[in-house]
Structure formats: structure tokens, C-alpha cells
Amino acid sequence: MARLALGTDDLVDNPTPRVPVSLCLDTSSSMSGSPIQELVRGVNLFYDAIDEDEDAHDSAEVNIVEFNSSAGLVHDFASIERLQRISGLAANGTTAMGAGVNLALDTLEARKATYSGSGVLYYQPWLVLMTDGAPTDNIDSAVRRVVDLVEAKKLTVFPIGIGGGADMKTLARFSPNRDPLRLDGLKFKEFFEWLSRSVARVSRSTPGDSVKLDLEGLAGWAEL
Amino acid sequence: MFKEFHHQARGLSHLRDGTPVQDRTKYLSRGGVQVLCLADGAGSASHSQFGAQAVVDEGCAVLVERFDEYASSNDGVQVKVDLLDRLAAKVTATAERHGVPPDSLASTFLCVAVSGNRFLGAHVGDGVVGYLKHGDLRSISGPDNSEFANQTTFVTSGRALESMRLFRGALDGVHGFILMSDGTAESLYNPRNGELAAACTKLINAVGTAPGRQSKNSDYKKRLRRLVNITIRNATKDDCSIGILGRVVPS
């Protein structure tokens, strides 16, 4: 038998497949006060939870898009190692939800192109849309893009209504396969912890898996 | 004449979750035909380990029976149809025995068969088939993934026939073949350039030059199993399976 001594040079060190997650957050003036503070706290807990999970830690890449009178990128996609905890978000202006969703989708497409260009495998991207109100801009093109992607199984979307004032009918337009969720009170912490666990489930999936999200796990804090 | 090695190791995520190994491998030699099959059961399919076992059993059986016919046929589509029909029928029968729908037994399928101076093989889904010819390591068939890392085609999929890749050739200059599931491919295959890791050459040569008669527990097989169980398995969370045919070099 030939001598069998395999070193690291004999093997391929492939990168872990990535799960790109875009948090598309309403930072309009109605979010001022405790909602925006709780949202920031929830996002940071999300980062902590991802950091603590072995699978999510290696695979999750998160960005934040905010929308108020216009849309903007709070920070671009980064692995949890490079993500700085956010110190705060300013709440002001109107609710340009269409612009926000379009920007979030653009960032997801750009990230996928980056993965493809560098030979990194990836899972279906996630869009988490959170708002406490109703859009003040035209959302038609954003809705069409999201629905087309979801129906083509190229996007997982979580439209989340915050509080009693969220326009759930509008959010439902973004979610052809399941009803949007309404947070029960301001339980961002529970939502983001659930989201982190769900990212971990995806990153543990193997080829052929259609990952079933544990939506029942939301029952304690959200209306389905 | 080729020597063989095949093995499947339970993935670290399966160990953590308490789920069984869903990869299966099998080797069969009969009537001058040597066949090696490998299948990776779908993680999302409840009985995929039974499906993987069914297709490696049936794959070995059909290829020893029909090697000459398949290898000489110019109608590749008909060969694909025949082979897939046999695999699907076995999966359906197995599913009926377990009282579940056939797609609960979803798995990929990879095989290589050699006889005389010819070889043939087939591949549905992800994983990799490669060979060593004239000292050059080449990928024969790479993973069939969609855009996303966790989607592929299975024997039970609607597009299995469309996805199936069939290959054949002469054995001149061929030192051996290697089959691997996607978990093993994380260490032995580079999807960015489609190249196999240098380790594959060493593995094929190690099997071909293994001493003495083959047995299930020969020293060389123990060493190879240890390599899969430790080095290759630690590079992924998925099950790891591998099948190798190494050509015996006349002394």
C-alpha cells in the first residue's frame, strides 16, 4: 500500500456557505422613544445570539437598511466577527417603505453576486421587514420584486408589524406564502432570539433540505 | 482488476441531533463486473437512509446485470430511463414497505462500474465523481446544485432524468475512480474551479496498491476509515461518504 500521509495541502479548505440576512427597519418618527430603543436592543441581542451559536456564527451575514423619509444603509453585510453592536438609531421623518425594501433587495442581490464571484456557496437570503405604521411612498415595485422572488423560492421574507398601528394589510402584500406577524407588545428580544435560532437551522441544513421554520415557536409572543 | 474501499461516516450535526447517518455506499463484484455505488439521503426526507440503501442496492444489481448492454448502447437517453426506472421502482417498493411516500426516501445517486477495458457511470444530484487517468486527477461529474447550497436533485425528483449524467469510456491509463457525497467534497473538491484535492490521487493509489487479499477489516481499510471518520468528517457537519476503486498494478 502506498504511504498514506495527508496534510492540509492535500485537502481543500472550502468556506462555509453563507446566509445573508437583511434587516429592513422602520425608523420613522412614530418609532421614537421606547420602540426604537427596544428595536436597537433586540438587534444587538440578535447579534449576540448568532455569536453564541456555532452554526449561525460561521454562516450568518447581516446588514441593516433603515427607512424613514428616505432609505439608507446603516451597515453593510458582515459576519458576526466583524459586526459592531449598534449604539442607537434615530427615529424621524416619514415611512418610505417601498424605498427601504428596494434598497434591501438591492443589497441582497449585490451580496449574492459577491458570493458567486468568489465561489462561496450560499443559502436562500432572508429579508426581515419591520414597521409600526403604513408606507408613505409607493410600494408597488417593491411588492412585485419580493413576491416574484418568494414565489421563485429565491427569498424568505418576514414582514413584522410592531404594535397596534402597523398596517398588516400592507405587510401581507409582501408575504404571499404566510401571514405577516404582529409583535405582541415590544417583544423584540424574543423575536430576534427566534430569528437567530432559525438562521442556525438553515445553516445546518444539507442539500435538498427545505428548511421548515419553527413558526409555532413564535406563538407565545406573536399573533399569526 | 480494481480494489475497492467504501465507507460512510455519521456527520457531526447528525451526532448532535441524534439522527442516523443518511449516506450509504455499496460495492458488488459479479461476472467480471465491479460496481461501486454511493447515495446521500436528503436531510429533509424522513426515511432517506432507507432510500439511500435502496438505490445503492439496486444500482449495484442493475449494473452487474446490464453492464455490457449499457456500455455498448448508443441510446444514452434509454439507458438513463432504464436505470432510473429500476432505482425508482426499488425506492417505491421500499417506501410502500415503510408506509410512506417515495419522496420520503429522497437521495442522490452516484455509481461507477468497470468490466474488461470499459467503464461507465451515472450521477444524480450533488456529490462528485472523479478519476485518475495518466496521472491526472479529473472531475467526471460535479454537483448538480441550484443557486442555493441546500438544494439539489434526487432520484425521486421530477427532474431526475433531466439531471442524470451518464458517462463511459475505456480504461486505458485509468488508475482509479473516486465517488464522494457533498460532505466529503468539502475536503476533497473545490467547487470554485471544479478540481479535486490532491488527496484524491493519494487515496486512489493507496487503494490500488493495498497489500494482499481484500477483507472487510484489512489494515488499509481501517486506516482509510479512520481518515474519513476523523480528518474528513471534522471538516463538515454533514455525513461523509466515499467510494474508491484503485487499479491493481501488476507486480
Distances in Å between the Cα of A97 and the Cα atoms of A16, A94, A130, B60, B215 are 33, 9, 10, 57, 67
Contact A207/B40, CB-based, under 8 Å?
yes
Distance of residue A121 Cα from the nearest chain B Cα, in angstroms: 6
Element (H, E) at B26: strand B23-30
Grid cell 461518504 is found at: B241
What's the rounded mean pLDDT across residues A167-191?
86
Closest CA relative to residue A123, chosen from A44, A206, A54, A65? A206
Looking at residue B64, what is its pLDDT?
97
Residue A35, pLDDT above cutoff 80 = yes
Could you tell me the pLDDT band of residue A212, with boundaries at 50, 70 and 90?
low
> Which of B13, B108, B206 lies at the smallest CB-CB distance from A4?
B206
Could you tell me the pLDDT band of residue A16, with boundaries at 50, 70 and 90?
confident
**Burial of residue A95 (number of CB atoms within 10 Å: 0-12, 13-18, 19+):** buried
- For chain A, the average pLDDT equals 88
Could you tell me the pLDDT band of residue A213, with boundaries at 50, 70 and 90?
low
> Which of A12, A118, A205 lies at the smallest CB-CB distance from B150?
A205
What's the rounded mean pLDDT across residues A175-188?
82
Pair B197, A12: CB distance under 8 Å: yes
Contacts of B235 in chain A (CB under 8 A): 11, 13
Could you tell me the pLDDT band of residue A3, with boundaries at 50, 70 and 90?
low
Bigger pLDDT: A91 or A164? A91
- For chain B, the average pLDDT equals 93
Q: Is A211 on the interface with B (CB under 8 A)?
A: yes
In tens, the pLDDT along B213-237 reads 656 678 888 889 999 999 999 888 8
Contacts of B152 in chain A (CB under 8 A): 207-208
Looking at residue A200, what is its pLDDT?
82
Contacts of A212 in chain B (CB under 8 A): 44
Contact B150/A11, CB-based, under 8 Å?
no
Q: Is A208 on the interface with B (CB under 8 A)?
A: yes
Cell numbers linked to A222? 406573536
Bigger pLDDT: A107 or A219? A107
In tens, the pLDDT along A92-150 reads 999 999 999 999 999 999 999 999 988 899 999 999 999 999 999 999 999 999 999 99
Distance of residue B103 Cα from the nearest chain A Cα, in angstroms: 11
Contact A208/B152, CB-based, under 8 Å?
yes
B91 dihedral zone (left: phi>0; alpha: psi -120 to 50; beta): alpha
**Residue A196, Cα to own-chain centre: how many angstroms?**
10
> Which of A6, A154, A209 lies at the smallest CB-CB distance from B42?
A209
Q: Find the residue in A nearest to B156 (Cα).
A: A208
Could you tell me the pLDDT band of residue B246, with boundaries at 50, 70 and 90?
very high
Bigger pLDDT: A220 or B150? B150
In tens, the pLDDT along B138-193 reads 999 999 887 888 889 999 999 999 999 999 999 999 999 999 999 999 999 998 89
Looking at residue A113, what is its pLDDT?
96
Element (H, E) at A158: strand A156-162
Q: Is A55 on the interface with B (CB under 8 A)?
A: yes
Could you tell me the pLDDT band of residue B108, with boundaries at 50, 70 and 90?
very high
Bigger pLDDT: B196 or A201? B196
Q: Is A207 on the interface with B (CB under 8 A)?
A: yes
CA dihedral defined by B188, B193, B195, B199, rounded to 10 degrees? Answer: -40
Could you tell me the pLDDT band of residue A2, with boundaries at 50, 70 and 90?
low
Bigger pLDDT: B18 or A71? A71
Euclidean distance between CA atoms B196 and B200, whole angstroms: 7
Looking at residue A219, what is its pLDDT?
46
Looking at residue A224, what is its pLDDT?
27
Contact B149/A12, CB-based, under 8 Å?
no
Could you tell me the pLDDT band of residue B22, with boundaries at 50, 70 and 90?
very high
Contacts of A154 in chain B (CB under 8 A): 147
Could you tell me the pLDDT band of residue B249, with boundaries at 50, 70 and 90?
confident
Distance of residue A1 Cα from the nearest chain B Cα, in angstroms: 4
Residue A223, pLDDT above cutoff 50 = no
ipTM: 0.84
In the DSSP assignment, the letter for residue B150 is T
Contact B209/A2, CB-based, under 8 Å?
yes
> Which of B149, B202, B227 lies at the smallest CB-CB distance from A207?
B149
